[in-house]
């Protein structure tokens, strides 16, 4: 056999180095993924166990991860032990109205800030920006007193209305509208198009990614929101899922299979939303650099 | 162009106000007026339980009380200690982003997996972690016990959430798990993709090692991102800690996981001390404001994005 040419040796050593580099990165990424995922696996397996199996101490190691029997009734029971279906409905109702309200009012206001000239515009916008720094705890107390004065505590209004008008959504959409090219809007204006038609037929269709991002972030934030619904709602039949789950826990703090079944059901919609809207998350984070 | 539209300016002003109005009304009622109201409340003693309701000016009494309130200082300290999660999660985010930045197959798959804990944050996850930290059959203590039995020892893990020494570390570990693959990692990935390739090529010609390339190219190039992430995490960190402590420890044991936010909640909701709660929330604002000022000083602009 002829001697292996020198360059072939070099290529081989390069490939070998690259192979080991990639292999080690894959191994590290897999260990990371396992760490991230294992609590979720634990959650799902526990939700399918008999209550007694959670507590059994003398068990083989694989028992933690693979339940011997799949107790699907846990999911049915979760609905019976607390009004889980009611919590679900409440959450969906609150989230849909809040998200719709926030995205529409923000989009209108953002367009006014980005494109229309009117007296006081920049001062009002500065006021919006200034409040973005104020922690939610500051406004929570007066808003509570106000809602109590209106007699709105323990109504859906108390949860939905304060969350419908945010400076954050307006700010984010304004920044996006500013990046849109003006030519189309100017051409439409010359053709005698009104501001509403320009907004509706030109600006909104061009802003689908930003609108989708805001919708996704608002949906998630509202779905997970815990403190305000806890404060604003008293009766069980009005609880949203997070408050309902906390209430569930206060009643049955060690019924782990049922608690886990409830948790899985609470997470599921968010998970689906994330899987289907993933790119809006990534784009949205890059766009604003602000946590949603 | 301007002249063409000048005659339309009244129309434009009208359109401007009507586009703004729905949001502005809500903003006034639920944000800007409450901000002012809250400042006024912080100088008052408020009692909504008794009839007639009490709104009584006591001026600086709430703030004086704040400075001598040992619980306020204890809970501020707790908040700071729990923020130890921030450097760990930032370092982890950077490591993961560096791994994902290699042009490998399946990167999107890993990115999705790492994002899951952030996406699913909230009450459900805190209930789950109560189970993870269970001292008898939780994940950690089962692993510790099994590791012990491999060595022929009887090892017993700590009572994570009920032992004063372990409750804070437990919450810190959970926060790192939750944040490490989330927003910060995505921001780091974007920053890493923005580092000019020719810098690395030049360094390779000079025979720089990966380690040297990281410290002399990557790290300085992404430092604005690091600074941004750090300030945002600190601002968020001061306001956090309520949800997880409420679900997992109830603020205990012995108040060791009660944060400033939790203390505001207790004063406001549990003890109906509205005026005092407002004063604490303004204290929180001052802390956050100073972090923001620092951010402005470094970046020289209002919002960095």
How far is the C-alpha of A271 from the C-alpha of A277, rounded, in Å? 10
- Strands, E assignment, chain B: 44-47, 54-57
Scored b (16 or more CB within 10 A) or e, B195-221 reads eeeeeeeebeeeebeeeebeeebbeee
CATH number for the domain that contains residue B190: 1.10.3720.10
Angle between helices A167-179 and A208-224 (to 10 degrees): 160
- Are A116 and B12 a contacting pair at CB < 8 A? yes
| Same domain flag for B173 and B27 | no
In sequence order, the 6+-apart residues with CB closer than 8 A to the CB of B138 are B131, B132, B157, B160
| Same domain flag for B113 and B204 | yes
Q: How many CB pairs under 8 A join A and B?
A: 272
DSSP label at residue A58: S
Question: Are B201 and B137 in contact, with CB atoms under 8 Å apart?
Answer: no
Asked, for residue B122, whether it belongs to a domain, the answer is yes
- Which residues on adjacent β-strands are paired with residue B56? B45
Tokens 């009012």 -> residue:
A105
How far is the C-alpha of A29 from the C-alpha of B111, rounded, in Å? 10
Looking at residue A161, what is its pLDDT? 93
Asked, for residue B175, whether it belongs to a domain, the answer is yes
Question: Are B158 and B166 in contact, with CB atoms under 8 Å apart?
Answer: yes
- Whether residue B302 has pLDDT greater than 50: no
- Which residues on adjacent β-strands are paired with residue B268? none
Angle between helices B223-239 and B183-193 (to 10 degrees): 170
Looking at residue B123, what is its pLDDT? 92
| Average confidence (pLDDT) over A59-64 | 54
ipTM associated with this complex:
0.86
| Same domain flag for B118 and B238 | yes
Question: Are B241 and B230 in contact, with CB atoms under 8 Å apart?
Answer: no
| Average confidence (pLDDT) over B236-259 | 91
| Same domain flag for B17 and B134 | no
Looking at residue A210, what is its pLDDT? 87
Q: Which of A116, A246, A264 is opposite residue B16, by nearest beta carbon?
A: A116
- Are A39 and B139 a contacting pair at CB < 8 A? yes
Q: Which of B110, B261, B269 is opposite residue A231, by nearest beta carbon?
A: B269
- Are B128 and A263 a contacting pair at CB < 8 A? yes
**pLDDT more than 70, % of chain B:** 95
CA distance B23 to chain A (A): 5
Question: Which helix H or strand E contains B61, and what residues bound it?
Answer: helix B61-68
Asked, for residue B296, whether it belongs to a domain, the answer is no
- Which of A24, A27, A29, A61 best probes binding to B when mutated, by most B CB atoms within 10 angstroms? A29
| Average confidence (pLDDT) over B125-142 | 87
Looking at residue B241, what is its pLDDT? 87
Looking at residue A290, what is its pLDDT? 46
Looking at residue B304, what is its pLDDT? 39
Coil, strand, or helix at residue A71?
A: coil
Q: What does residue B55 show for φ and ψ, rounded to 5 degrees?
A: -125, 100
| Average confidence (pLDDT) over A45-52 | 80
Looking at residue B20, what is its pLDDT? 92
Looking at residue B210, what is its pLDDT? 85
Asked, for residue B93, whether it belongs to a domain, the answer is yes
| Same domain flag for B253 and B104 | yes
Asked, for residue B38, whether it belongs to a domain, the answer is yes
**pLDDT tens digits along B16-58:** 999 999 999 999 999 999 999 999 999 998 888 877 788 888 8
| Same domain flag for B90 and B239 | yes
| Same domain flag for B110 and B238 | yes
Looking at residue B7, what is its pLDDT? 57
Looking at residue B138, what is its pLDDT? 81
In sequence order, the 6+-apart residues with CB closer than 8 A to the CB of B303 are A129, A171, A290
Lowest mean pLDDT among A225-229, B2-6, B147-151, B220-224: B2-6
- Which of B12, B25, B30, B141 best probes binding to A when mutated, by most A CB atoms within 10 angstroms? B30
Asked, for residue B270, whether it belongs to a domain, the answer is no
Asked, for residue B223, whether it belongs to a domain, the answer is yes
| Same domain flag for B11 and B123 | no
- Are B285 and A135 a contacting pair at CB < 8 A? yes
DSSP label at residue B157: -
CA distance B205 to chain A (A): 16
- Ramachandran class of B155: left when φ > 0, alpha when ψ lies in -120 to 50, beta otherwise: beta
For residue B249, which of B136, B139, B168 has the smallest C-alpha distance?
Answer: B168
Lowest mean pLDDT among A66-80, B56-70, B121-135, B231-245: A66-80
Q: What is the mean pLDDT of chain B?
A: 87
- Which of B2, B4, B44, B124 best probes binding to A when mutated, by most A CB atoms within 10 angstroms? B124
| Same domain flag for B101 and B192 | yes
> Considering its fold, how many domains does chain B have in total?
2
| Same domain flag for B161 and B14 | no
- Per-residue confidence band for A50, with pLDDT thresholds at 50, 70 and 90: confident
Looking at residue A287, what is its pLDDT? 64
Looking at residue A251, what is its pLDDT? 87
| Same domain flag for B202 and B97 | yes
**pLDDT tens digits along A231-258:** 999 998 999 999 999 999 888 888 888 8
Lowest mean pLDDT among A64-73, A172-181, B131-140, B271-280: A64-73
| Same domain flag for B12 and B134 | no
The CB density around residue B65, as the number of other CB atoms within 10 Å, is: 16
Which chain A residues touch B183 with a CB distance below 8 Å? 285, 291
- Per-residue confidence band for B303, with pLDDT thresholds at 50, 70 and 90: very low
- Are A195 and B278 a contacting pair at CB < 8 A? no
Looking at residue A60, what is its pLDDT? 52
- Are A57 and B136 a contacting pair at CB < 8 A? yes
**pLDDT tens digits along A140-172:** 999 999 999 999 999 999 999 999 988 888 998
Q: Write down all domains in chain A, each with its CATH number in brackets.
A: 6-73 (no CATH), 76-288 (1.10.3720.10)
Asked, for residue B106, whether it belongs to a domain, the answer is yes
Looking at residue B91, what is its pLDDT? 95
How far is the C-alpha of B170 from the C-alpha of B168, rounded, in Å? 5
- Per-residue confidence band for A105, with pLDDT thresholds at 50, 70 and 90: very high
Domain that holds residue B177: 83-258
- Per-residue confidence band for A67, with pLDDT thresholds at 50, 70 and 90: low
**pLDDT tens digits along B177-221:** 999 988 889 889 888 988 898 999 899 888 888 889 999 899 988
Task: Kindly state the tokens that stand for A264.
Answer: 């899985």
- Whether residue A285 has pLDDT greater than 80: no
- Per-residue confidence band for A59, with pLDDT thresholds at 50, 70 and 90: low
Looking at residue B305, what is its pLDDT? 39
- Whether residue B286 has pLDDT greater than 60: yes
| Average confidence (pLDDT) over B282-291 | 91
Lowest mean pLDDT among A175-179, B33-37, B137-141: B137-141
- Whether residue A94 has pLDDT greater than 50: yes
- Whether residue B151 has pLDDT greater than 80: yes
């Amino acid at each position: 056999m002829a001697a292996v040419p020198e360059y072939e040796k070099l290529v081989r050593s390069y490939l070998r180095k690259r192979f080991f580099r990639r292999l080690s990165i894959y191994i590290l990424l897999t260990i990371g993924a396992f760490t991230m995922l294992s609590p979720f696996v634990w959650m799902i397996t526990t939700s399918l166990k008999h209550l007694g199996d959670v507590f059994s101490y003398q068990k083989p190691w694989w028992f933690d991860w693979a339940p011997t029997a799949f107790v699907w009734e846990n999911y049915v029971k979760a609905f019976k032990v607390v009004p889980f279906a009611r919590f679900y409905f409440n959450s969906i109702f609150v989230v849909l109205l809040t998200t719709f309200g926030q995205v529409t009012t923000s989009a209108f206001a953002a367009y006014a800030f980005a494109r229309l000239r009117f007296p006081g515009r920049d001062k009002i916008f500065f006021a919006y920006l200034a409040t973005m720094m104020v922690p939610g705890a500051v406004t929570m107390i007066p808003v509570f007193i106000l809602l109590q004065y209106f007699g709105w505590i323990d109504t859906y209004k108390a949860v939905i209305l304060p969350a419908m008008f945010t400076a954050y959504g307006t700010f984010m959409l304004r920044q996006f509208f500013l990046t849109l090219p003006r030519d189309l809007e100017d051409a439409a204006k010359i053709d005698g198009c009104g501001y509403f038609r320009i907004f509706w037929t030109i600006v909104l269709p061009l802003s689908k990614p930003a609108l989708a991002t805001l919708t996704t972030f608002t949906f998630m934030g509202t779905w997970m929101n815990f403190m305000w619904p806890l404060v604003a709602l008293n009766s069980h039949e009005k609880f949203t899922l997070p408050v309902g789950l906390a209430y569930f826990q206060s009643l049955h703090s060690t019924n782990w299979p049922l608690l886990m079944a409830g948790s899985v059901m609470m997470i599921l919609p968010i998970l689906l939303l994330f899987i289907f809207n993933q790119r809006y998350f990534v784009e949205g984070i890059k766009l604003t650099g602000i946590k949603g | 162009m301007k002249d063409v539209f000048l005659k339309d300016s009244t129309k434009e002003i009208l359109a401007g106000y009507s586009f703004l109005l729905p949001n502005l009304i809500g903003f006034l009622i639920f944000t800007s007026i409450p901000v002012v109201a809250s400042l006024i409340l912080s100088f008052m003693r408020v009692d909504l339980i008794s009839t007639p309701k009490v709104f009584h000016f006591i001026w600086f009494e709430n703030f004086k009380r704040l400075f001598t309130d040992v619980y306020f200082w204890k809970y501020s300290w707790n908040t700071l200690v729990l923020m130890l999660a921030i450097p760990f999660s930032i370092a982890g985010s950077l490591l993961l982003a560096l791994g994902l930045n290699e042009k490998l197959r399946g990167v999107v798959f890993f990115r999705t997996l790492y994002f899951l804990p952030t996406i699913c944050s909230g009450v459900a996850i805190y209930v789950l972690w109560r189970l993870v930290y269970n001292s008898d059959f939780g994940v950690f203590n089962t692993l510790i016990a099994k590791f012990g039995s491999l060595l022929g020892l009887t090892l017993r893990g700590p009572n994570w959430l009920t032992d004063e020494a372990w409750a804070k570390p437990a919450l810190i570990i959970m926060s790192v798990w939750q944040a490490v693959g989330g927003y910060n990692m995505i921001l780091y990935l974007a920053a890493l993709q923005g580092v000019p390739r020719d810098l690395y090529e030049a360094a390779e010609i000079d025979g720089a090692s990966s380690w040297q390339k990281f410290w002399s190219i990557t790290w300085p190039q992404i430092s604005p991102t690091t600074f941004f992430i750090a300030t945002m995490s600190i601002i968020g960190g001061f306001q956090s800690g309520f949800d997880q402590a409420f679900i997992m420890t109830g603020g205990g044991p012995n108040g060791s996981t009660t944060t400033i936010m939790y203390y505001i909640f207790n004063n406001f909701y549990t003890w109906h001390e509205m005026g005092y709660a407002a004063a604490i929330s303004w204290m929180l604002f001052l802390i956050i404001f100073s972090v923001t000022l620092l951010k402005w000083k470094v970046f020289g602009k209002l919002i960095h994005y």
